[in-house]
A and B are shown apart, each in its own frame.
Chain A
Amino acid sequence: MFPANFEYIAAKSLDEAVSLLARYKDDAKLLAGGHSLLPAMKLRLSQPKVLIDISRVKDLAYIREEGGQVRIGATTTHFQIETSDLLRRVCPLLPETATNLGDMQVRNKGTIGGSVAHADPAADWPAAVIAVNAEIVAFGPKGARAIKADEFFTELFATALQPGEIVKEIRIPAPKGVVGQSYMKVRHPASGFAVVGIAVSMTADGGKCAACGVGITGVSPTAYRASAVERAMKGAALDAKSIAAAAGHAGDGADLNSDLFASGEYRKHLAQIYTRRALETAASRAK
């Protein structure tokens, strides 16, 4: 309950945060909403020497449309996403994911950037950002670079961020055409984290699936794109049979997580069932 000692620095700008990171390197951790880091520090599982608070960096919490994309600032809270009219209109998958995430207080304080950078294997956002083909903008000493969500989550609690880089923004190509999305989740009864979380973003065309993105979290050490499901859905009729057939591929090739609540085998099964259900829901919404 009592974190070990550290130095606290509130960065005023992203540049300042980056230069602080460069100075303190591995001794430093970034603090945004704090909902992944502080619990670990309270249990002394994490004992950084320096905390760089980026929650006070100006203009890092925003949701806006720009250049055919929806851009979400790193310190935007889950609640801001949950209640964003823009996102509800353009990319309702994200508000739906937010609603299913943590609890009300966590959503009020936790941030999308923090969650994505933490890369918890049972976090909700990774599935969603993969499904919508997002890019994660990293900002470092050499400036900004965009990383595809597919390439961002590399290993358990590990990302493609280089040392010294900070998540600055999430960019989502504004979905075009007739779009249907869905996020479905089996919550761990204690933690509320995803045992399985399925994010689907589908474009429909005349009763068929023109394209669809499927991101899956909770099942594997990292969230992943269910490519086999996407391939099977592409061009397929939006009927129960084709959807079920495609969903059967939800766990293809995945390394499977296992814990007291759910074995790998069961997670895979849940992934298949909930992928089907999420696809069906997305299809029903693609009107």
Chain B
Amino acid sequence: MFSETIELRGHIIDSLILPKVLDQILTHGANFKITEINIGQKRADQSFARIEVSAETGEALDELILRLRQQGAEVVERANAQVARAPVDGVFPRDFYVTTNQQTFVRLEGKEIEVRPAMINSAIALDRKRGTARAVKFFDVNKGDEIVIGHQGVRVVPVQRATTYTDLFQFINTTVDADEPKSAIIRGIGDELRRARGAKGKIAIVAGPAIVRTGAGQHLVRLIEAGYVDRLFAGNLFAAYDVERALFGTSLGTNPDLAVARGGHENHLRAINTIREAGGISQAVHQKILTGGILHACVRHDVDIVLTGGIRDEGPIPGVTTDVIEAQKVMRTKLADVTHVILLATVQHSLAVASMLAPDVKTVCVDIDPPAVERAIEHQPLQSIGLVTDVEPFLRELAGCLTESRVRD
């Protein structure tokens, strides 16, 4: 949303200039907020109104403001953002503005520029030549870059509640606790994913190892096969569990189908070794070494796999990005066009992904631990649903309603 503040003065009530201006704003598809109004008490007293006008695009706003000027509207000059140069590579100037993940604009030479991407905990770097403003992390900043300091000239636009339709995410917009019914919500999520796929949205799954350990992998495979997953974000451990389960029937030595499994803990390391020997997951699939499991389904159905590492990892499995800064960059790139994210049973990975999401990405978080759910969705107001539940029944029901409806279609 682009906005300007206008002021009206004079006999704007008796002349019906105020209602005319408000009507013109609405008929042009824009919105207004009267931030101040002072109505004259006596007949000859003049009145005053300060109105914030916002429109979808800068062009639409400019055109509207031009019309409103004819009605006597005066545009309130806003201050430009203040900037300072980065003193050295990787260091922001003191007092740098710290971003939220909400849509943000900076005013530069009288014009508002949207900061892209909308990224939390970043600074804002300006490129005057191109007229752009970029959210940057420490590793992105070079000595001499112009960085916004202070709050002047910065405007944040929180996600607005939809008024024209019922949006499941805005309607629920809370965490569904363990003792609350979930079937209807899961079906609603299913409908949303179906709509997203139809509208060429991009759906990302962030998968924790519990999916494999609880035996929910088969349901995720059904979702992948049905085309509901575009990208899979996971850690080295998830990949190792999935491969171990495919090769040996166990994950970290436990088998969801057997009370006592054979092979125990060593299967984990043998699985990693097998993939390393094959040269990677995709190679193992093509060499028919890996013939089942979630990653196998991903390779078979061209789902982008984004694997990143952790301190306690074994291996790593080839293809896992182990440098954390590099991993952040890869994840950000791979999340840039994502419209829907489902965070499944992983605290650290969910929090990492959640911190990189644009404010309008629809987010579902499923975890057995209530605080983990809360933390993962706290930055996506009006766009998220949290479900406190074991991941297995969630995935079973979601895959069920999406794949059964495929039959119905």
Genuine A/B complex: no
